[in-house]
Structure formats: structure tokens, C-alpha cells
């Protein structure tokens, strides 16, 4: 039951863009994890730039680096 939570700087994203993103992510999960379409959930979570380090970088990227499969170039 994969769940993907995408945190990003606030940006206007149309329903069509959201649908296309969810479809792409779902297809990748089906291919690489052998899951099924109906088992996948995806969320978009806007995070203000001013709190990005405190709410994303420290707890989720640095704090869980053992789970990180792609490191950002800004660290």
C-alpha cells in the first residue's frame, strides 16, 4: 500500500497537472514495487520556503537519511 507525500514550495498546480503527476508516480510504483493502481495514494503538501528547513530538511531528509534514496544537491 504505497503512499507518496510530495512536499514542495507553494505553487499553483492545476487539477490536470495533479492527475498527470499521480499517474506518473503510480506507474513508477507499479513498475518498481510490483503494486497495483488501487493500492497507491499520493498527496501534495505545500510547505512555505521560510519553514522548509525546520519542517522538511531537518526531520525528514537529515533526520531519516537512512531511508533517503535520492539526496538533494542543496545539502
> pLDDT 10s digit of each residue in the chain, 75 long?
999 999 999 999 999 999 999 999 999 999 999 999 999 999 999 999 999 999 999 999 999 999 999 999 998
Which residues share a beta bridge with 3?
A: 41
Predicted structure pTM score = 0.89
CA distance 34 to 37: 10
Instruction: Tell me whether strands 41-46 and 3-8 are parallel, antiparallel or unpaired.
Output: parallel
Q: Give 10's contacts (C-beta < 8 A, 6+ positions apart).
A: 46, 47, 48
Q: Give 62's contacts (C-beta < 8 A, 6+ positions apart).
A: 75
Structurally, at CATH architecture level, domain 3-47 sits in 2-Layer Sandwich (3.30)
Catalytic residue among 2, 10, 46, 59: 2
- Identify whether 2 is a catalytic site residue: yes
Amino acid at each position: 500500500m504505497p503512499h507518496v507525500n510530495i512536499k514542495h514550495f507553494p505553487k499553483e498546480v492545476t487539477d490536470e497537472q495533479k492527475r498527470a503527476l499521480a499517474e506518473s508516480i503510480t506507474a513508477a510504483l507499479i513498475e518498481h514495487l510490483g503494486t497495483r493502481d488501487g493500492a497507491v495514494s499520493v498527496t501534495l503538501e505545500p510547505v512555505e520556503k521560510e519553514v522548509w528547513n525546520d519542517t522538511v530538511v531537518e526531520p525528514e531528509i537529515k533526520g531519516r537519511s537512512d531511508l533517503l534514496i535520492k539526496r538533494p544537491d542543496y545539502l
